[in-house]
Amino acid sequence: MKVSELAALTEAAFLTAVPDDKEVTCGYTCDLLSWVMAHGDEGMAWVTVQTHMNVVAVAVLADMACIVLPENVKMEGEALDKALSEGMAVLSSPLTAYEICGRLAGAGVPGRAQ
C-alpha cells in the first residue's frame, strides 16, 4: 500500500506535500518515542498524537513512510517545516488511532515489516 492509498483509507489529509509516495510496509501506534525507536521499521506508518520536532526526528531516523495524526490532530510550525524539508509525509485523520489501525490491519498492513 502507498501512503496516498493509506490517506484515502483513513480519510486523512496531507499536512506535508512530499513528492515521494512511499510504500507502507507496516503500521504502529504509540506515543512513547523511545519505545517507537526500539520497534520502528523502515516503511512504517506511525500513528501518534505527539506533534513536536522529535516525532519527525524519530520517523526520519527510522526511515518510516509516514506519520499519521488521529482525531484531526494537527502538526504545526517548526515541526511541520522539518517534516517538509526531510520529505516525511504527515497526515491528519478524523478517525481515532484505534480506527486507523483497524482499517490498516483490515487492508492487510502488518504490525511488523515482512
Partner 1 sequence: MEALIHEVYPVASADYTSAGHASADIKKKLKMLGVGGDVLRRVAVASYEVELNLVIHSQGGHLDLNVFPDRVELVSEDVGPGIPDLSLAMREGWSTANEEARSLGFGAGMGLPNMKRNADEFDIQSEVGKGTVIRMGFRLA
Using the rule CB under 8 A, which residue among 8, 37, 105, 113 binds partner 1?
A: 37
For residue 33, the tally of other CB atoms under 10 A from its CB is 16
Write the interaction track for partner 1 spanning residues 67-96; mark x where CB under 8 A is met and - where it is not: -----------x-------x----------
DSSP string, 39-92: H--TTEEEE-S--SHHHHHHHHHTT-SEEEE-TT----HHHHHHHHHHT-EEEE
Q: At its nearest, how many Å lie between partner 1 and the CB of residue 102?
A: 23
Q: Which residues sit at the interface with partner 1, rule CB under 8 A?
A: 31-35, 37-38, 40, 42, 48, 50, 52-58, 60-63, 78, 86
